[in-house]
Amino acid sequence: MSSVPPPGLDPELLRGHLDRERPGLVSGPLEARLIEGGRSNLTYIVGDGTGQWVVRRPPLGHVLATAHDMAREHRVISGLHPTAVPVPEPLLLCEDDTVIGAPFYVMEYVEGTPYRTAEQLAPLGPERTRAAVLGLVDTLVDLHAVDPEAVGLGDFGRPAGFLDRQLRRWGKQLDASRNRDLAGIDELHASLGRELPASPAATVVHGDYRLDNVLLGSDDRIKAVLDWEMSTLGDPLTDLGLLVMYSSDLDLPHSPVSTTSGAAGHPSPAELIERYAARSSRDTSAISWYTAFAWFKLAVILEGIHYRYTLGQTVGAGFDRIGDLVPVFIEHGLTTLQEG
């Protein structure tokens, strides 16, 4: 790890706080490195030469507290840690932004690999890839089997009207980044609104459940589910719809959207739905709506990135191609809704 402190985290200030709040946890000078950045909360690995931990804090210069709520993220992994859902052990929450300049929390470091592309999965071979992706479904079933009340998460969201609110929220996001005609997107939004399914009983939902948001161990089993910043109480089938979308073949070379569907042995979307239905006993007959909603949501997210790119607010490799992806996602959403 670099001895130069990464932006947003001073290891000495962190060490002082840990020594006060968790005496004995750290036994030497801390070094830190940033392991991911961007729109999401910032994640650092810190170590003292013998132990390692993970620190999460909001992005630098963040404004919207609710969008990067450390207490909320810490609360959900604290609630889930005693359950069958594999999450890192939470060690400390600090809501005092004078310590490192922002609220943060510390959790255990879990060894594992996030697989983002079919190429990364290739060395596993077809059988191991298949088992790993089916394990992703099984863990999602475990998450949706947790009783929110029993783990202190009974008030973690507002399940009533969840789908309607989600659809309105993403419609507003779309309106905020409109600067070109997008054929079919208003039709997709309106069709989703006309065909809202009746939600099953609410569960804890992850909100961004996919293979590269979990860590797989050397035995191909899920060691930890990460990135809970979108989690809430709501309709569990939104998680399944998103997973189905990410498991569909985009047939787009060099796509900046991570999909592993091209890997040999990767189960088909139909297999994932079937396994979820069998293991959860939930009715998945309306899954085409949830999958179409996932396509719509990603189209809106990508259009927002494209919009910021056209304004010169987003720089980096691959951003110039994102605008071309949006119509593909709209088309997939319309087709999924029409054909089921």
Query: Is there a contact between 173 and 326 (Cβ–Cβ < 8 Å)?
Result: no
Within a domain: 101: yes
Per-residue confidence (pLDDT) for residue 38, from 0 to 100: 47
Which amino acid is located at 265 in the chain? Answer: G
Q: Which of 295, 228, 221 is nearest to 75 (CA)?
A: 228
H or E element in which residue 331 lies: helix 319-339
Half-sphere exposure of 39 (CA within 13 A, CB side): 11
> What is the rounded distance in angstroms from the CA atom of residue 225 to the CA atom of residue 312?
34
- Scored b (16 or more CB within 10 A) or e, 149-160 reads eebebeebbebe
How many domains would you assign to the chain?
A: 1
Half-sphere exposure of 131 (CA within 13 A, CB side): 12
Secondary structure of 9-64 in HEC code, one letter for each residue: CCHHHHHHHHHHHCCCCCCCCCEEEEEECCCCCEEEEEECCCCEEEEEECCCCCCC
Within a domain: 20: yes
Within a domain: 217: no
Which amino acid is located at 192 in the chain? Answer: L
The token duo for 276 is 């979820």
Within a domain: 330: no
Within a domain: 221: no
- For residue 210, the SS3 value is coil
Q: Which of 102, 21, 115 is nearest to 60 (CA)?
A: 102
CATH code of the domain covering residue 104 = 3.30.200.20
- For residue 302, the SS3 value is helix
Per-residue confidence (pLDDT) for residue 264, from 0 to 100: 94
Within a domain: 81: yes
Write out the chain's pLDDT in tens, 340 residues. 556 788 899 999 999 999 999 999 999 999 999 986 545 688 999 999 999 999 999 888 755 545 558 899 999 999 999 999 999 999 999 999 899 999 999 999 999 999 988 899 999 999 999 999 999 999 999 999 999 999 999 999 999 999 999 999 999 999 999 889 999 999 999 999 999 999 999 999 999 999 999 999 999 999 999 999 899 999 999 999 999 999 988 766 666 676 788 899 999 999 999 999 999 999 999 999 999 999 999 999 999 988 888 888 766 667 788 888 999 999 999 999 998 7
The token duo for 23 is 């005496």
Range of the domain at 77: 11-108
Within a domain: 178: no
The token duo for 290 is 């949830």
Query: Is there a contact between 154 and 176 (Cβ–Cβ < 8 Å)?
Result: no
